[in-house]
Each structure stands twice: as C-alpha cells, then as structure tokens.
Structure 1
Amino acid sequence: MFLSMLAGILWGTAELSWAERLHVLTRSDDAPRGVSLIIWQWRVPRVLAVALIGAMLALAGVLMQSTLRNPMADPYIMGLSSGASAAAVAALIWLPEGVVQMIGVPVISFLGAGVAFAMTLLLSVRRGHSLDPNIVILAGVAISLMFQSVTSFFLYIGDPHASRSALGWLMGSAAGADWADIPVLVAGFGLIAVPAFRYAPSLDAMLLGDQRALALGVRVDRLRVLVFTGTVLLTGLAVSVAGIVGFVGLILPHLARLLAGARHRVLLPLATVLGALTLVIVDLLCRTLLAPEELPLGVLMALFAAPPFILILRRARRAV
C-alpha cells in the first residue's frame, strides 16, 4: 500500500525529474514552486482520496454481500449509483452553472443516492414482515433501471456540451479531488468501519441464514437497516468525489474471501486494504498509460476487473 501510494505521488501526467520529486517530498528550499503545487495540492490529496474511496466501496461490498447473502450484491445494488447519476446529470444539464457551482455536484449526487435508497426501502418493506433479501435486490434493480432511463433521457435531449461533461463524470474520475474532500471521506469511512468490525460476529451469523442468526441472538432486520444506511453513506460519499466507479465493491470482497476465508474479523480489514490498493494502482495507470491524456477511472477499473470476475465464476461453477 505504501509503495503504491508513493508511486501515485511520484508519477503522473506531468514530467518531473527525480531531483525535483525528492526536493518536493523532503520540503527542500530548492523545490520549484510549480512542482510543489503539483505534488502537494494535486497528487497527494488525489492518491489519499482514491485510497479511501477504494476502501469504502470494498467495505460496502462486503457488508452488502454478507447481509443479503448474495455473491452478486455490491454497493450499487440498491439503485445508489443510478440515483446519484440521474441527479448529477440533471443538475449539469438543466440547472444554471452558477447554481451547480454553489451547491456542488457532489452534494447533488449524494442527495440523488439518498432518494434512490429511500425508494428501494419503500418498495421492500412490508408491514408485519421482515426484510426479504430477494425483495430488496429486485427493488434495487427496478429503481436502478428507472434512474438509468432517466439519465439516458437527459443525456439524449440535453445540450451536447453539457452532456459531454456529464458523461465524463459518469465514467468516474478522481481528477477533482482536493484536500477538502479528505476529512469528509475519513470521517465517513471511520463512522462505518468501526461499528462494522464490532458487528463482525453478527455478520458471520448472517451467513447461516436468518433463522439461525435469530436463534443466535442477532437482530436481523435491525442489522440490515444499519448496513443499508452505512452503505448509502459510503457509496454516496465515494460517488460524490469520484463519480461512478464500478466493480470495486463486487470483485474485491470475493478476492479477499479467496485469500482469507469468510470470517469477518479478517475479511473486513483485508477487503478494505485490497480496495484501496487496487484503486490507487488503477488511478495511477489512468494517469500514465496515455499521458498527457487521462483515462476514465471507471472504464479502466472495469477492464481490469473482468479477468478476476471470470475466475470467480469458474470457481463457483466447479463448486456447484
């Protein structure tokens, strides 16, 4: 992790000599002002933000897969990404530029994710019945499809320049991350990660099924609501900073299970580290492969996630 983050700080689209890099990192008086700006105001906060976003999405993926007992569950399954996308695209295309700058696309996308989450829960909850994981997944799929249609409609009828800007956001990028985002991401991650580790035994029990978990003293519905709320916070913050970055919450929890098994006291920290490590490396490749052009983070992440996903599917088929 340390080496990958150091590489993310030292390399990028700007060509810097090793002497300049060392002068900047050591805070030497010989460091050029422009290079110091590139390193400390652009690269360092970007690398920290990407690491936190990867950890948050991987943590949310573990929590969703465990509480829903579905290997295909991920942080976006409850329509969060679609709701955030629709809200951000609507703002970029329809609202005046001054209003968007005043409110901020991150805040708007976070509100869209919250609306999608609320709609999914309303479709899933039945009076007098516990939350059914299958109903939650189906409701999330329905809400996702609805908001995806809304997003596509806005992109089709919107101004081409505004639509291009919205498409860039939808593909995912951490280019706009700055120091102001770091405290918010750290607070959001800590607010969910600490209780998640505390509830690790309950998450282990959830894998046995609702009835056995209830027999072991786990309040299943309460735990699910807590996990869903935490997932909204983690995913909404991640989307608000970097846009839509798929596959992190779907693939990396499976890779962590292959390495360490299903015990959540080990699985949770391992998955978060893998998420942070993977996204830092992918973001570095986005900045360097076609430098000075930058690839979208979501596109390259999906490309790298395909081989592990195929491997997991093949293992699952052999197990069946």
Structure 2
Amino acid sequence: MTSARTTLLWPVSLALLGASMLAGVFWGTAAIGWADRWAILTGDADAPRSLSLIVWQWRLPRVLAVALIGAGLSLAGALMQTALRNPLADPYLMGLSSGASAAAVAMIIWAPAWIVAALGVPAAAFLGACAAFAITLGLSVRPGRMLSPLVVILAGVAVSLMFQSLTAFFLYLGDPQATRAALGWLMGTAAGTGWGDLPVPLVATAVVAAGALWRAGDLDMLLLGDERAAALGLRVAPLRLAIFAGAALLTGLSVALAGIVGFVGLIVPHMARLLTGARHRRLLPLAMLLGAVVLVCVDLLCRTLLAPEELPLGVLLALFAAPPFIFILRRVRDVL
C-alpha cells in the first residue's frame, strides 16, 4: 500500500462516517428544510419544536445505535476470523444469533404481557445469545487439550441448528399476529431506539476494541497458527477464549438492540483487509469505521426507500452484501 493511500484512508473514512451520520439524522420520512436543519443543528430557539424532537430524540439515537452495531459486529467478525483462522467466520458462527432468535421469539409469542414488560425482548435475546455461547463453548472445550477452531465451528453449527429448530417450532405454533411481530424483529430493525439504549453497547464496544488493540501483536501472531504462535511465547488458549467472549458480548448486545443484522461482520472485515492489510493495529479500527458507515447508510435506505413504510435491515443488507462478497471472493480465491 502506498504512503499516499495510507494517509488518505483514515480522513476519507472519517469523512464518510460523518457524512453518513448527518444524512441519517437529517433525512427521513419527515421532511426538514435546510433552514430548519441548520436551526436544529445550532440549537436555535426558533427551530420548530416538533422537528427538533424528531432529530434529537428519534433519529440521532437511532443513527448512533446502528453505527455502534455496525462497528461492534465488524470488530467481532474480524476477531472471529482471526481466532478461527477462517475467512468465512462471522460473529454469529457460535450460534449466538440462533440462541437470541429462539429466546426473543419465545418471549414475543409465549410470554405473558407482564413478563415482557418486566424483562423485555432485548434482554431475552441477550440471554439467549449468552446461553448459545455457553453451550457452544461447553461442547468445544476438552480438558487438558487446546481449543480447536474446527471443533468450535462444528459445535456452533450444531447449536445453531438446534436453536433454529426451536425458533421454527415457536413460529409454527404461535398466534399469527404475534408471529408477524416476531418475524419483523428477526429481520432486524433499529426503530424505537432511545438514548437509554446506548451506554451499555458503547462501553462494551470501547472496552473490547481497547483490549483488541492492546493485544494487536498477539492477534497477528495467532494468524501464524497455534504451534508457531505458542513457540513464540503466546498463550493461545486464553487469548482465543478472550476473543470468543468479547465477540459474544458485542454480538449479543447488537442482537438485543436491533435484532439479527447479518453480513456486516462477515464482509466488512474483508473490505478493511483489502484496504489496509492484515495487521490488526490498522485493520480493527478501519473495520469498525467501515462497519458503522455501511450500517448507517443501509438504515437510512430502509427508512426512506418505501417511506412511510420501513424495510427491515436484514432485507437490504442481504441485497447489498452479495456484490461486495463476490468481488472479495474473486480477489482472495487464490489465497483460499
């Protein structure tokens, strides 16, 4: 990579993130004129109160939430791909999305209203993701032996299938109205996100990112293989368990906040590698920036394409993910 390209990469990425977030805040189903946008942005007392409420209480928290989700899932995907040394690994590989889906659907369809009000669907989804992670890890760990990436993948597939079957069973037996609500949640949406939903994912993302950057050199060594990394003095098993725990935390929180948001954690890390290489000190921050940009832009399209109707995040992500994935596959197929 040329030095000029490296120099431009970060300011361009930051500018894209800022522009996409401004677009997400100021565009939507409610039309806001340029004069009103400026008045709202500067806190002018003459700004229309209703439009200020839309911007500051509805749109801005939602934009920040999807930016956090995109950054967190991209970070989790990059870490999982490193830990498992598998370019097709993503944050949901350990059955987290399936566990969260089963718990959320069960809460929506079967739980009494007072339980839903007390616990909430997001909390149930997070607990379901944690349960799936615990089961996958329990199936993968063998006393006295190093944790095998292949065993983790196979355990994750088995746990995913189990929870997917439970989800299908719940949907089949559920009331049609409740089933429709559950399907809407499963396809992903950040609608209704408020300021109170942001602190926990913000802190979790910051802590996991700081820890990953602190161990960036060790993550680079992990790509060499377990035996070579161990020969260099790296304690592979604790590092891999820490990666799994961090990725599970970020994924569980993102699922709890906005439902199942696929493809971001799989594709965005590859996009970042093509731009900056495989060194984690540069890769991880860029992956987080790109993940935030991608999800903010997709969420804006979900809100505006069929306004006043809103598309689920999963629909457009699946549609837009295919061309970049094919391009990335063509670039790396010789390596694979």
Secondary structure, in 3 states, of the residue corresponding to 1:180? Answer: helix
Matched, 1:125 2:141: yes
CA distance in 2 between counterparts of 1:207 and 1:318 reads 18
Task: State the shift of 1:319 in Å.
Answer: 4.1
CA distance in 2 between counterparts of 1:189 and 1:313 reads 28
Letter aligned with residue 307 of structure 2: A
TM-score w.r.t. length of structure 2: 0.94
- Aligned to 2:292, which of 262, 265, 276? 276
Spell out the pairing of 1:84-103 with structure 2 (5 A cutoff). Answer: 84-103=100-119
Segments of structure 2 that go 5 or more residues without pairing to the other structure are 1-16
TM-score w.r.t. length of structure 1: 0.98
1:199 matched to which residue of 2?
Answer: 215
- Aligned to 1:2, which of 7, 18, 22? 18
Task: State the shift of 1:120 in Å.
Answer: 0.3
Moved more, 185-194 or 131-140: 185-194
Alpha-carbon contact 1:64-1:75 (below 8 Å) kept: yes
Letter aligned with residue 68 of structure 1: L
Secondary structure, in 3 states, of the residue corresponding to 1:71? Answer: coil
Spell out the pairing of 1:108-147 with structure 2 (5 A cutoff). Answer: 108-147=124-163
2:240 matched to which residue of 1?
Answer: 224
CA distance in 2 between counterparts of 1:145 and 1:179 reads 35
CA distance in 1 between counterparts of 2:333 and 2:260 reads 29
CA distance in 2 between counterparts of 1:107 and 1:64 reads 24
Secondary structure, in 3 states, of the residue corresponding to 1:72? Answer: coil
1:248 matched to which residue of 2?
Answer: 264
Matched, 1:55 2:71: yes
Spell out the pairing of 1:1-320 with structure 2 (5 A cutoff). Answer: 1-319=17-335
Task: State the shift of 1:63 in Å.
Answer: 0.4
Alpha-carbon contact 1:176-1:241 (below 8 Å) kept: no
CA distance in 2 between counterparts of 1:236 and 1:318 reads 34
Alpha-carbon contact 1:55-1:276 (below 8 Å) kept: yes
The Cα offsets for residues 206-252 of structure 1, whole Å up to 9 and x where unpaired, read as 10000010011111000011011111110011111010000000000
Letter aligned with residue 112 of structure 1: G
The Cα offsets for residues 253-276 of structure 1, whole Å up to 9 and x where unpaired, read as 001001111000000101000000
The Cα offsets for residues 52-102 of structure 1, whole Å up to 9 and x where unpaired, read as 110000000010000110001000000000000000000000001221121
CA distance in 1 between counterparts of 2:35 and 2:113 reads 42
CA distance in 1 between counterparts of 2:318 and 2:215 reads 31
Pairwise CA RMSD of aligned residues?
0.9
CA distance in 1 between counterparts of 2:87 and 2:240 reads 16
Secondary structure, in 3 states, of the residue corresponding to 1:35? Answer: helix
CA distance in 1 between counterparts of 2:274 and 2:98 reads 30
Alpha-carbon contact 1:171-1:298 (below 8 Å) kept: yes
Task: State the shift of 1:318 in Å.
Answer: 3.8
Letter aligned with residue 76 of structure 2: A
Q: How many residues align?
A: 320
Segments of structure 1 that go 5 or more residues without pairing to the other structure are none
| Deviation >6 Å, runs of 4+ | none
CA distance in 2 between counterparts of 1:66 and 1:147 reads 26
